[in-house]
A = this chain, B = another copy of it.
Amino acid sequence: MIAEILCVGTELLMGQVLNTNGQFLARELAALGVNLYHQTVVGDNPERLEAAYREALSRAEVVITSGGLGPTQDDITKRVAAKVAGEPLVLRPEAEAMVRDWFARAGREMTPNNLGQAMFTPRTQILPNRNGTAPGAIVPVGEDQFIVHLPGPPRELEPLFREQVAPWLAARSGRVLESRYVRIFGLGESMVDTLLEDLEQQAEPTVSPYCSTGEVVLRVTAGGATRQEALGKIEPAVAEIRHRLGDKVYAVCDTAEGSLAHSAVAALKAKGLTVATAESLTGGLIAATLVNVPGASDAVRGGFVTYQSVAKTLLLGVPAEMIEQYNVVSAQVAEAMATGARERLGVDIAVSATGLAGPGGGTEAIPVGTVFLGLATAAGTKVIPLHLTGDRERIRTLSMKHAIHAVLRAAEGSPEQEGKQP
C-alpha cells in the first residue's frame, strides 16, 4: 500500500507552526508497513489544494490530510476533497450529534458555522474526535482510493490516528514491518558508509544511517507476513554489522529511543554502581545529559562544575601549582579532577573533562579542541586525550559524548556491586 501525507494550512506553509504532524504520521505509517514517498504542505488555497489532491491520488492509494477541518471560511480541506471525489457534502446526522455533544460537554455555545463540521460526502466513514469539535473522516474516492481527514491539533490528531486510522490501514495492508536500531559511537558517517556500502544498497532489510554529533544510528527494517518472518530477515544483517564494526557498536535497540546516556545509566544500574562528574569545558553538560535519563537518580550521585581554575582548587583540591605548571588543559589536571570528584562524592566511577572549546584561546601547544578526560575507578585514574574539531558547541557536545562513552565502558567492565545503595 502506498500513502501520502498532505498537510494543509497557511500557518504551516509559512513556518508559523512547526510541522510535527508530518513526522508523527510518517513514523506511524512506517511502523504499519505502509509505503510513503511524498509529504506535501500547501496553504489554504482551493486551487493549489485541489491540484495537490489530484497529484497525490495519481501516486497513492490513501492520502492522509491534517488540518483545515475547522468552522471558518479558510477551512477548505473537506470541501475540496469532496470536489475531487465528485460527491456532494451533506449534513450527516451522526456527525451533527458528535459536534452538538462536544459543545454540550464543553459547556460552550455552538455557532451556526460549526454545523459545517458535520458535513461529509454520503459514503464517508466518520471518525469520532474525543478531543475536539471536528470529527475525522475516511472519504472514498472512486472504488479503491481514499482521502483520510485528520484535525490539525496534535492532541486531536494523534489519538484519532492511533485508535481509528491505524487499525483501518493495518486491516487493508495485511503486512508487518519490524525495525532494529544499531547504535554506533566513534566512527564517522562516511566511514560507516564505506564499511557497510553493500548492506546499505540491498533491497531488504533496508539499512539506513541517521547521524547526530559523533554518533551514527543504523535502522535495519524488513517486512513480512508475520513478525517472525520480518525478524528473520533483520537478525542476520544486525549480526553482520556487529561483526564488521566490532566494539564501535554500543547498543542494539528495539525502538528509536536510546542514547549513550541511556546505555550508560542502564549499565551503571545493572551493576549497582554510582557515578560523579567533574566538568570544566562541558560546564555541567555531562551531568545534565545523564540526569535527563528517567531513573538516573539511582546511579548519578552528583558532580562539580569547575569552570574557573579557582573552582578546581576550591572544590576538587586540584593544586594551584599543578594548574600553573602544566596548564589547566592538561592530563594532570584531568586526572586530579576525576580523582578529587571520586573521593569527595564517594562514588564508584568519576569522569572529568578539561579542554579548550574556543573560539578564542588556542595556542600552538594547546589548540582549540584539545580535551583531556579523566576516568577514576577502583582500579585507579586514567586519562583519555581527545583532539576534537568544529565550533564551541560541537567540541563541548563531543567531549560530553566521549565522557559518557567512557563511563559506559567502565561500567560494563566493572564487577557487579552487591548490596550497594546510594
Contact A26 B13 (CB under 8 A): yes
Q: Mark A365-389, 1 if CB is under 8 A from B, else 0.
A: 0000100000000000000000101
Expressed in whole angstroms, the minimum distance between the Cβ of A349 and any Cβ of chain B is 14
Q: Which residues of B sit under 8 angstroms from A27, Cβ to Cβ?
A: 14-16
Expressed in whole angstroms, the minimum distance between the Cβ of A216 and any Cβ of chain B is 11
Contact A38 B30 (CB under 8 A): no
A232 within 8 A of B: no
Q: Mark A92-120, 1 if CB is under 8 A from B, else 0.
A: 00000000000001111001011000000
Expressed in whole angstroms, the minimum distance between the Cβ of A356 and any Cβ of chain B is 11
With A48-B37, A296-B307: A16-B256 Cβ-Cβ less than 8 Å: yes
Expressed in whole angstroms, the minimum distance between the Cβ of A369 and any Cβ of chain B is 8
Identify which of residues 1-60 in chain A touch chain B, using a CB-to-CB cut-off of 8 Å: 10-20, 22-28, 30, 36-43, 45, 48, 52, 55
* Complex: A49 Cα to B85 Cα, angstroms: 28
A175 within 8 A of B: no
Contact B210 A17 (CB under 8 A): yes
Contact A41 B39 (CB under 8 A): yes
Q: How many copies does the complex hold?
A: 2
Residues of A in contact (CB 8 Å), total: 105
Q: Which residues of B sit under 8 angstroms from A345, Cβ to Cβ?
A: 311, 314-315
Contact B306 A302 (CB under 8 A): yes
A72 within 8 A of B: yes
* Complex: A135 Cα to B279 Cα, angstroms: 34
With A16-B256, A27-B15, A193-B113: A292-B283 Cβ-Cβ less than 8 Å: yes
With A191-B111, A310-B422, A392-B294: A43-B48 Cβ-Cβ less than 8 Å: no
Contact A19 B16 (CB under 8 A): no
A325 within 8 A of B: no
Contact B26 A14 (CB under 8 A): yes
Expressed in whole angstroms, the minimum distance between the Cβ of A31 and any Cβ of chain B is 10
